[in-house]
Amino acid sequence: MRKVVGIASLLVLAIAMLGLVTAQNKTPYVGLITKTESNPFFVKMKEGAQKEAQKLGAKFISAAGKTDGDNAGQVAAIENMVAAGVNTILITPSDAKAIIPAIKKAQAAGVQVIALDSPTDPASAVDALFATNNYQAGVLIGKYAAAALKGKKPVIATLDLFPGHPVGAQRHNGFLTGFGLKSLGAESNELAKPAEVVCMADTFGDRAKGQTAMENCLQKNPNINLVYTINEPAAAGAFQALKAAGKEKDVIIVSVDGGCEGVRNVDQGIIAATSQQYPLRMAAMGVQAAVEYAKTGKKASGYVDTGVELIAKTAVPGVASKDVKYGLANCWGQ
């Protein structure tokens, strides 16, 4: 009887080991879910992920929300990808909290989930995060703006993302910290509002909404001399509003992204400075981690900073920056 039990135990162990080996040698199958399909940042991220997947012999599919903030669209994409048999999902979450139940279901099905660009809330809800240090990105443009004002009293408008999103909060609060104003820490998802900020408006990272937000802010306070924007499309919209009001030469605009159009806007003086991030790097790292998981069963973990550089046409004393030539050599999009 003992011998039979022993043989049975060995057989069970062998089957388990065979299952593990099989699981660890699956063809890598990667799914990428971005916030939208139209934002050049996410377009380039998709291109980078496709290229890396092809290079490493991985299958690849992608999906996106209809707009920034479309959690339902991203939930549906996760469910569809799990059903399709992906090993890893790379996601830029639109709603940092609402997306978590769908992520947990995917993980329970054995899928590795890695956040790109934007963290979940809490960040530990995913296996790993490959992203820009968004607080530092804000700090860099805040320092630049403070120096560029040359001692003038700041009258600030902040054109933000939307309430509660970690990326929007980190960039906003980092900007205020870099400027030297009362702010909140990198862990907060609330937006600080010191007295120097006379107008705050949500843009959802959209150019048209950025223009409307700036028009509304100018109605509240026509003396605004500094505008922080969540990204470069919102900055372009703000500039159009300022130009229509005849104030484009009197107001400094700073932003975050580092897309090619945004860097060209730095060169043209539309944006004074921008913090450049690197979606191609995020995408490539995500696909590499997906392939590693498919082949070995080893998951990625923790936060990996994918880098950020301040891009400015005109350098200011005491603030390190790269020039437009560097920005164009490392930008993304058209």
SS3 readout for 163-189: CCCHHHHHHHHHHHHHHCCCCCCCCCC
Domain count within the chain: 2
pLDDT at 18: 42
pLDDT at 67: 86
182 and 228 together in one domain: yes
In order of 197, 289, 302, the CA distances from 261 in angstroms are 27, 30, 32
108 and 199 together in one domain: no
103 and 157 together in one domain: no
3-state secondary structure of 76: helix
Is 3 among the domain residues? Answer: no
Does 11 have pLDDT greater than 60? no
At 3, the pLDDT band (50, 70, 90 cuts) reads very low
Does 29 have pLDDT greater than 90? yes
Minimum mean pLDDT among 20-29, 206-215, 264-273: which range? 20-29
pLDDT at 25: 53
Q: Which residues lie closer than 8 Å to 289 by C-beta, 6 or more apart?
A: 88, 112, 114, 128, 130, 299, 300
Does 12 have pLDDT greater than 70? no
Contact of 204 with 67, CB cutoff 8 Å = yes
Per-residue pLDDT averaged across 120-146, rounded? 97
At 178, the amino acid letter reads G
92 and 140 together in one domain: no
Minimum mean pLDDT among 39-43, 93-97, 115-119: which range? 39-43
pLDDT at 120: 94
pLDDT at 17: 43
121 and 220 together in one domain: no
127 and 160 together in one domain: no
What is the tens place of the pLDDT at every residue in 202-260?
Answer: 999 999 999 999 999 999 999 999 999 999 999 999 999 999 999 999 999 999 999 99
Structure tokens, 234: 């919102």
191 and 318 together in one domain: yes
C-beta atoms surrounding 278 within 10 Å: 21
Does 110 have pLDDT greater than 90? yes
What is the tens place of the pLDDT at every residue in 168-202?
Answer: 999 999 999 999 999 999 999 999 999 999 999 99
CA–CA distance, 45 with 277 (Å, rounded to integer): 11
Which domain does 228 fall in, by range? 134-276+310-329
321 and 258 together in one domain: yes
CA–CA distance, 197 with 179 (Å, rounded to integer): 12
At 334, the pLDDT band (50, 70, 90 cuts) reads confident
Does 10 have pLDDT greater than 60? no
At 117, the amino acid letter reads D
At 49, the pLDDT band (50, 70, 90 cuts) reads very high
68 and 122 together in one domain: yes
Minimum mean pLDDT among 1-5, 63-67, 278-282: which range? 1-5
Is 80 among the domain residues? Answer: yes
Average pLDDT of the chain, as a whole number = 92
Is 191 among the domain residues? Answer: yes
